[in-house]
Amino acid sequence: MGILVVGSVALDSVETPFGKVEEALGGSAVYIALAAAYFSAPVRLVAVVGGDFPRKEMKYLEKRNIDLDGLQVVEEGKTFRWGGRYHYDLNMRDTLYTELGAFEKFDPVIPPAYKKSSYICLGNIDPVLQKKVVQSIERPRLVIGDSMNYWIRNKPNELRETLKVMDVIILNDSETRQLTDEPNLIKGAKRIIGMGPRVVIIKKGEHGAVLVTNDVIFSAPAYPLENIQDPTGAGDVFAGGFIGWLAKTDDISVENLKRAVVYGNTMASFSVEKFSVEGLDDLTPLKIQDRFREFMKLTKFDEQ
């Protein structure tokens, strides 16, 4: 059993209309792992940081049941840094700077104990590296991957090869259209299924997420929040909640995949209420379950 997460660890500087943070903990692997650890721990993390990565952040991750044996520390290197500014429409943001540092030459090294992991979640790293990770795992039960417009544009062939070894791919609506040249998202998702994954999840930001298989279409809304501070990492938190629930239940049936989508949305709703990873602090199983049930109320109605 066990969850393996591969992606980035970063220090983010983020400004929204509601505040800002400087060099706060971030990165796809961090957001995924923190969310997943609420369901199934420990979560095994593979990433890279520089020698300047704060020790307090290491301790924070360890306290959250994140196994850091797979975290490479390049002592002479710098940690990946990203800066962004969001508009009042939080779906729009400007990237102010990207400093890859040690992440530029990241080559995932999977510790022997990690190779027996059953559930694999791949952040939006180079698809060549994603495929390499999957091939190093002995018998994964489920492989979930993320990607982004950069890889779709610059490594389309490599991405298509990697899709063949994924069970679930998570993309947003624009990425789905870009990958398939199909304006209709459902048709686009079906085309992606033809490339390899049996499940496509389309993230729609404040409008929730859609799960598509050959036989099923399931749409789950986002939680209607009155207070949103920072949407950074929400998609990765969704992936963490999704894979966390599946690993906890060890059930990958379609009905449980639907529940996992709602748990993903649940965790993402907590994340955006505060900056950086603060929205994932101090959650409890009861608090998560209560919000999950609120999602059920949102979509329940009588026939008459």
8 A C-beta contact, residue 231 and residue 90: yes
On the CB side of 245, CA atoms within 13 Å amount to: 24
Contacts of 29 (CB under 8 A, 6+ apart): 5, 6, 7, 8, 9, 45, 46, 47, 123
Q: Which CATH architecture has domain 3-298?
A: 3-Layer(aba) Sandwich (3.40)
pLDDT, residue 302, reads: 82
Q: Checking phi first, is residue 298 left (phi over 0); if not, alpha (psi -120 to 50) or beta?
A: alpha
Q: Which two tokens stand for residue 38?
A: 């609420």
282: region left, alpha or beta (phi > 0 left; psi from -120 to 50 alpha): left
The answer to whether the beta carbons of residues 263 and 244 sit under 8 Å apart is yes
Q: Is the pLDDT of residue 165 over 80?
A: yes
3-state SS, residue 138: coil
pLDDT at 163 over 80: yes
If pLDDT is split at 50, 70 and 90, which confidence band does 299 have? confident
For CA atoms 210, 92, 103, 237, the dihedral sign is negative
Per-residue pLDDT, averaged over 171-175, amounts to 93
Return the structure tokens found at 283.
Answer: 């959650």
φ, ψ for residue 86, nearest 5 deg:
-95, 150
The pLDDT of residue 132 is 96
DSSP structure string for 20-38 = EEEEEEE-HHHHHHHHHTT
Is a pLDDT exceeding 90 seen at residue 77? yes
Q: Say how far apart CA 53 and CA 33 lie, in whole Å.
A: 18
Answer positive or negative: Cα dihedral of 230, 235, 238, 239: negative
* Helical (H) or strand (E) element with 154: helix 149-154
pTM of the model: 0.95
Domain boundaries, the chain: 3-298
205 has pLDDT over 90:
no
Pairing of the two strands 168-172 and 199-203: parallel
> How sure is the predictor about 90, in pLDDT bands with cuts at 50, 70 and 90?
confident
Please report where in the chains the tokens 């943001």 appear, as a residue. Answer: 93
Question: Please, what is the average pLDDT of the chain?
Answer: 94
**Is the pLDDT score of 207 beyond 90?**
no
% of the chain residues with pLDDT over 90: 88
With 80 as the cut, is the pLDDT of residue 215 above it? yes
pLDDT digits (tens, 9 = 90+) for 31-40: 999 999 999 9
Residues 129-159 have pLDDT tens digits of 999 999 999 999 999 999 988 899 999 999 9
Q: Is the pLDDT assigned to residue 1 strictly greater than 80?
A: no
pLDDT higher at 303 or 38: 38
Mean pLDDT of 267-287: 95
Summary count for the chain: helices (H), strands (E): 10, 13
The β-bridge partners of 86 are 93
Task: Tell me the pLDDT band of 125, cut-offs 50, 70 and 90.
Answer: very high
